[in-house]
Copies of this chain bind each other. A is one copy, B any other.
Amino acid sequence: MDAKMTFSAQLRMVVDNGSLENCPVRQVMQGIFGKWSTLLLLALAEKPYRFGELRRLVPDISQRMLTQTLRDLERDGYVYREVYPTKPPSVEYGLTELGYSMLKPLTGLVEWASGNFEAVKEARDKFDRAG
């Protein structure tokens, strides 16, 4: 659906629907732009992981933020959570179809960022020097 939209059509999607607070695009994007969301989605894109594996894979994340971010991603339907009744119980996280589908445009952005951060860095330095 909506295969190609003009910029102004997209703008209207973002800006309309009454107040901006209720804007559907904003509501979806906010769930993706958390500090750890992209990182975890990329990790899970490779293969499903268990909670502890994710902790070791992303050492800077706290236990609390890992739980919370995974819950948020699960709530939005990007990630599934499966509990195996082993002892001690193990919990597997992985991407849903919706998650994979969303990851495609998201990785487009990640690739752009990793390919262009030099240009952005230069722009920043130039701007700051012009001060």
List, in ascending order, chain B residues with CB within 8 A of A121's CB: 24, 27
List, in ascending order, chain B residues with CB within 8 A of A76's CB: 120, 123-124
Cα A20 to Cα B105 with chains together (Å): 23
Mask: chain A, 20-42; 1 = CB below 8 Å from B; 0 = not: 10001101110111000011001
A5 on interface, CB distance cutoff 8 Å: yes
Cα A46 to Cα B57 with chains together (Å): 41
> Are A75 and B127 in contact, CB atoms less than 8 angstroms apart?
yes
A14 on interface, CB distance cutoff 8 Å: yes
List, in ascending order, chain B residues with CB within 8 A of A42's CB: 7, 10-11, 14
Give the nearest-CB partner of A114 in chain B.
B13
A113 on interface, CB distance cutoff 8 Å: yes
Q: Known contacts A46-B8, A109-B108, A123-B75: does B128 contact A116 (CB below 8 Å)?
A: no
Q: Known contacts A120-B31, A120-B76, A123-B98: does B113 contact A7 (CB below 8 Å)?
A: no
List, in ascending order, chain B residues with CB within 8 A of A14's CB: 38-39, 42, 110
List, in ascending order, chain B residues with CB within 8 A of A8's CB: 46
Q: Known contacts A45-B7, A76-B124: does B28 contact A117 (CB below 8 Å)?
A: yes
Q: Pick the contact of A109: B15, B98, B106 (CB < 8 A).
A: B106
> Are A102 and B116 in contact, CB atoms less than 8 angstroms apart?
yes
